[in-house]
Structure 1
């Protein structure tokens, strides 16, 4: 029993259950706990930029080849595009089959239309070319100060490549210093992760206390459809991908279960980003592949967000009795293939992308988004969990295709004989091996 109480999975599950209970019974108290969940996420975000930088630099330092870095990045982007296209098609297909918008009362949308105006204004002001040029930072320090993942990734790739070109007398000492800094940062991450149950408790209490379980009833069919479709995508599409590349999706999910629960409690996939890199390195993926694929995937491989956006678009068309031809639905898919990538990193990106998509189609009323305000927070957990699973699978796939997957380390990790470095911070592990 004592060992169970110390288990992070048990602690986070208990915290989520208590958060739901507190938010339901004492909504005012639950809403007041918002800073608790937000503070935990800020602690994680504080570590994201330096961990990505050090992981990528050390990974490229071990590769020493611009050609190989480009090949890994190219494979990752091609995989992202293929899988997110499948996600779009599945989302549209499921929405047409289930018809979650049929019979929905749209009168509330008019009353709440003003609440969606800010998303429509953000969408109208978005410049997709500017987004992609924004990947190049104005200065080195600004990228780290802002915590912009793609900017930090670009700096890390360039820095790592430069290190491979300088004399050993310069490069080796720097790599040694970065290696030691990496160990310290993962130690800090391990200490922060001890607060994960508190963060999950605060995040879940705030969600339930603010939005209330009663808001789920009018759109229960949509929520159920979204959750079931995402489950179908994970265990259908990603399950087939895992089988093709000869690894068990179930065992991978079991290995990252703590990260999934933290995402569930906080509704933020960023809360698991640095630890996911650490865990997948322990799982058998090379540090260079994990460091490149995961941060890129957080912007370009948003499977859960893609499914939600496609289903939400069709849902609103059904709710407002707007018949969509096959051509119009294909147009929506085409627009989402672009906009779902371009809004990555924008605050409230899900609603911004949806607003820009609806505005581009000129057939579905943008103000209809007000219908989704009450349940969007509850569906964000499904989006975030699907996103993180999609990126975990992508990392293993790219690692295996590049022969950068260590089967022996994988077996040690699955047996519990090897653990992620951040999991041992501040403790004396039962097993002596950890990821260096």
Structure 2
């Protein structure tokens, strides 16, 4: 029992500190609203540090991941099938979330509605083509370094990664530099996130002090919707995916052996920590090693159904807070694009969801005041998101094995003795 408590604090300590900061900030904002203006600079410092780190962090994370894809990872049909499965399930999760939010809308705090018109700034004379060009490119290199052009920067980082990958032996030193830079920037983000409880607590105190106690009711509904939808998706959609991969026998094998990965995901709140467990139970689910050893490790980085759902919820919350229409068709298409990108970019970065939130703020041109709200949502949904992210890799591998026609798929494994499918190592 003594050992379980330190493990719990190790895995959830950062989340507990964030929650403590939010609670303390809420109390200060509720009972001492006259001092919240003095606390807001602390939140601004935290956000500025994040914004300063996000550009180099994104560059090294994306460029190093693309540049170091080697020939052993290019397995033809398995890779192409995996890409289709990952993309399909992420989009399905996002669409389910959009549908739920459509039928169960969240009302914005009154103060947010009253100030929404002040934030509706744009360039009404721009044509659709002008907006597209400005959205994905810039005309000077230095403009890439601004968070206002973050999507163009992401595209540039992908292109640098591809160029480094294609440079062969000559570019080996540069690829090592990208890997080293990625690790350095990860450590920088970890350092910055150590002051997150203070920064978010200060910002939450400001929000409570200015918007009032109705803010608590505002957060409760999207959080409740996320957990209910997440549980439904986990049980129903994962069962449907397993059925598509191997019929009733596939459903049985998946759930009999998904207990340990699920427990690991919830207890560690880490997809990477769950990956070894996923690999150990994959054979018991009838997933051939050639598929499991590619799909599950790559899925840890590239496939995140839970993050897809939380990304949509966070975008929706930000739009509601500032009074914008989330259900505009172009907004929804952009949200899907951001969701897919976040699912790829966030993997392998500690607290990578926060990077996705800043990308969202940049792409939509939202005010920085919306960041604490979506960061709070992201923190509170993390356990359920991790459960969906981590265990979703197993059912995705089952689908890849089925549709890629890999030897040892579920249908071919139906005759195996079920005594070994007990969910243990």
**Which range, TM-score by smaller chain?**
0.5 to 0.7
Residues 200 and 372, structure 2, Cα contact 8 Å, conserved in 1: no
Q: Which runs of 5+ in 1 are unaligned?
A: 6-10, 29-55, 61-65, 110-118, 150-206, 421-436
**Contact 1:123 1:353 (C-alpha < 8 Å) held by counterparts:** no
User: Could you say which residue in structure 1 is the equivalent of 2:155?
Assistant: 128
Q: How does 1:160-199 map to 2 (within 5 A)?
A: none
Change in Cα spacing, 1:347 to 1:101, as seen in structure 2 (3 Å) is: farther
Q: Does the aligned pair in 2 maintain the 1:99–1:315 contact within 8 Å?
A: no
Partner of 2:294 in structure 1?
292
User: What RMSD in Å do the two structures reach over aligned CA positions?
Assistant: 4.6
- Write the mapping of 1:210-359 to structure 2, written as runs, cut at 5 A: 217-218=216-217, 219-245=219-245, 246=247, 247-249=249-251, 251-345=253-347, 346-359=349-362
TM-score, with length taken from structure 2: 0.58
Residues 1:404 and 2:411 are matched in the alignment: no
2:383 is equivalent to residue 381 of structure 1: yes
- Where does residue 113 of structure 1 map in the other structure? none
Q: Deviations over 1:6-28 (max 9, x none)?
A: xxxxx97997599999x69xx79
| Structure 1 position 122, deviation (Å) | 10
Corresponding residue to 1:81 among 82, 87, 105: 87
2: CA distance, partners of 1:229 / 1:320? 24
**SS of equivalent to 1:134:** helix
CA distance in 1, matches of 2:305, 2:350: 18
Q: Is residue 266–residue 383 contact of structure 2 (8 Å, CA) maintained in 1?
A: yes
- State whether structure 2 residue 95 is matched by structure 1 residue 95: no
CA distance in 1, matches of 2:200, 2:420: 40
Range 402-411 or range 135-144, more displaced: 135-144
Please list the CA deviations of residues 318-369 of structure 1 after superposition, one character each: whole Å capped at 9, or x if unmatched.
Answer: 222212453233332343255224524344332222322332233x434312
Deviation string 1:28-76 (CA, Å, 9 cap, x unpaired) is 9xxxxxxxxxxxxxxxxxxxxxxxxxxx97xx9xxxxx8xx21111111
The correspondence of residues 62-77 of structure 1 with structure 2, limited to 5 A, is 69-77=75-83
Gap change, CA 1:132 and 1:288, over 3 Å in 2: farther
The 10-residue stretch of structure 1 (231-240 or 340-349) with the greater mean CA deviation from structure 2: 340-349
SS in 1 for 2:369: helix
Instruction: Evaluate the alpha carbon distance shift between residue 415 and residue 264 of structure 1 in structure 2; reply closer, same or farther with a 3 A threshold.
Output: closer
**1:393 is matched with which residue?**
395
Structure 2 gaps, min length 5: 22-70, 116-145, 166-170, 184-195, 209-214
How far 1:290 moved relative to its partner? Answer: 0.1
Contact 1:132 1:342 in 2 (8 A): no
Cα deviation, 1:111-141, whole Å, max 9, x if unaligned, reads xxxxxxxx96895784234246537676499
Shift of 1:259: 2.5
The 2-side partners of 1:232 and 1:139 are apart by 46
Cα contact 2:317–2:373 (8 A) shared by 1: no
Is the CA contact (8 Å cut-off) linking 2:244 and 2:399 kept in structure 1?
no
**Aligned counterpart, 2:363:** 360
Q: CA deviation at 1:237?
A: 2.7
